[in-house]
Amino acid sequence: MALSAATAVRPIYLDHHATTPCDPRVIAAMLPTFGDDFGNAASRQHAFGTAAAGLVERAREQTAALLYADPREIIFTSGATESNNLALKGAAERASAGRRHIVTTTIEHRAVLDPCARLERAGFRVSYVPVGSDGVLRVEDLAAALAPDTFLVSVMLANNEIGTLQPIVELGALCKERGILLHSDAAQALAYVECDVEELGVDLLSISAHKMYGPKGAGALWIRRRRPHVRIAPLFDGGGHERGQRSGTINVPGVVGLGAACELVGRERDVERDRVRALRDRLHARITTGLDGVDVNGSLERRLPNNLNLAFAGVSSDAILRCLDGVAVSSGAACSSASDDGSYVLRSLGGDRAARGSLRFGLGRFTTAAEIERAADLVIAAVRRARSLPAASPGAGDEPGCEAPRARPGGGLKA
């Protein structure tokens, strides 16, 4: 969907779980790295490399501060997918003999589930613990899945589709008691949830810049250095950068952007969290007042403040999206948008959730009250229109009265 100057009306963007716009203040921090500060941070024999290295270390301090961590525990990566892979595969390679078991959940991001599947093919055992109908993991269920040879548990802090928050503090205590490492994918959480790694009790934590108003292609993995000193193997070799954990020329612009984004989140998160929650609740109230047969997918209490995932009875997600114009929303995660199988996260909730039409609304830093009012009107109208259409037969073409999905301004294309 092109958003050029010729676009008559810019759609309302409510898909902040897929990505967030780069904050202008982050862009301003990055701009010098494309000009005078273009040096390679590994080339410290001259002023250009030294200046770049200084920028990287400043970003490392900013990132660590958001986690209440030691800067030496921050390893820069290309994003949460790489961080997750490094955490899981790196921990697996360094696992002691006889410990070949990993425990995770059925609603993790593909960036955790796919590495787990690869480790299974390499001879490791992986247990996938289901969540409750509210999308929240029960600590006792995960505890029951642990075995004498379990060396790693990986549970996301917040789900990327239904926004549910998982009991990481309780899991951290459980894993510490059993001598098991705990990894958490916090990519979706950091913009709105305070993450003190010591209080959480995690050993490895993945973050991504573009989920919190920073640039795409930059992220980090926090690796605990004390009690215990966690050791993982690198994914690839070639220079020993980032304390030997992540070889390759550092993406200085992206790292600087990540650091600036972390600093802004730390400064503004509390106020922004309350503001966006109020907008989310307003959107929920408007839609459920205007339509019947609407339910929330997942717990509304243990949830990201900017997330709303709604199931609409009597209509499919595709039908709603075909009739929805002027609002950019998603029917599921960006990582699953090419699949015709529907959302595995919604299937994990049980019942008929996966069979009902669901939309994921992700509000953000620049979402306004006026946009929420307009979006609610457009969604209500789209659902009413979709419900009035005759049911399409399998393999049928366009449904009468609504356009088939295509790249158009405001079209409800999957993220």
Convert the pLDDT of each residue in 341-361 to its tens digit. Answer: 579 999 999 877 766 799 999
Kindly state whether residues 136 and 275 are assigned to the same domain: no
Q: What is the mean pLDDT of residues 51-78?
A: 96
Q: What is the mean pLDDT of residues 39-65?
A: 93
Kindly state whether residues 244 and 366 are assigned to the same domain: no
Q: Which of 32-41, 123-132, 360-369 has the lowest mean pLDDT?
A: 32-41
Residues 6+ apart with CB under 8 A from 361: 14, 280, 283, 307, 308, 309, 310, 329, 375
Q: Which of 30-44, 96-110, 337-351, 379-393 has the lowest mean pLDDT?
A: 337-351
Is pLDDT of 406 > 50? no
- Where residue 1 falls among pLDDT bands split at 50, 70, 90? very low
Q: Residue 216's domain is classified under what CATH number?
A: 3.40.640.10
Segments forming the whole domain that contains residue 191: 24-265
Q: Which of 25-29, 135-139, 230-234, 341-345 has the lowest mean pLDDT?
A: 341-345
pLDDT in tens, 119-168: 999 999 999 999 999 999 999 999 999 999 999 999 999 999 999 999 99
pLDDT in tens, 323-334: 999 999 998 655
Kindly state whether residues 251 and 374 are assigned to the same domain: no
Using CA atoms, how far apart are residues 316 and 284, in angstroms rounded to an integer? 19
Output the average pLDDT for the chain. 90
Domain boundary among 265, 298, 321: 265
Query: What pLDDT is attached to residue 390?
Result: 84
Q: What is the mean pLDDT of residues 5-9?
A: 55
Kindly state whether residue 295 falls inside one of the protein's structural domains. yes
Kindly state whether residue 31 falls inside one of the protein's structural domains. yes
Using CA atoms, how far apart are residues 120 and 188, in angstroms rounded to an integer? 26
- Where residue 397 falls among pLDDT bands split at 50, 70, 90? very low
Query: What pLDDT is attached to residue 42?
Result: 87
Kindly state whether residues 173 and 241 are assigned to the same domain: yes
Is pLDDT of 3 > 90? no
Kindly state whether residue 382 falls inside one of the protein's structural domains. yes
Domain boundary among 265, 282, 311: 265
Kindly state whether residues 380 and 313 are assigned to the same domain: yes
> Which of 45-54, 335-344, 350-359, 368-377 ranks highest by mean pLDDT?
368-377
Query: What pLDDT is attached to residue 316?
Result: 93
Kindly state whether residues 240 and 373 are assigned to the same domain: no
Kindly state whether residue 61 falls inside one of the protein's structural domains. yes
- Where residue 415 falls among pLDDT bands split at 50, 70, 90? very low
Kindly state whether residues 166 and 44 are assigned to the same domain: yes
Domain boundary among 265, 300, 317: 265
Nearest to 173 by CA among 201, 153, 146: 201
Report how many domains make up the chain: 2
**Is position 22 annotated as part of the catalytic site?**
no
The two most distant CA atoms of the chain are separated, in Å, by 71
Half-sphere exposure of 140 (CA within 13 A, CB side): 1
Kindly state whether residues 184 and 229 are assigned to the same domain: yes
Kindly state whether residues 273 and 318 are assigned to the same domain: yes
Catalytic residue among 175, 262, 335, 402: 335
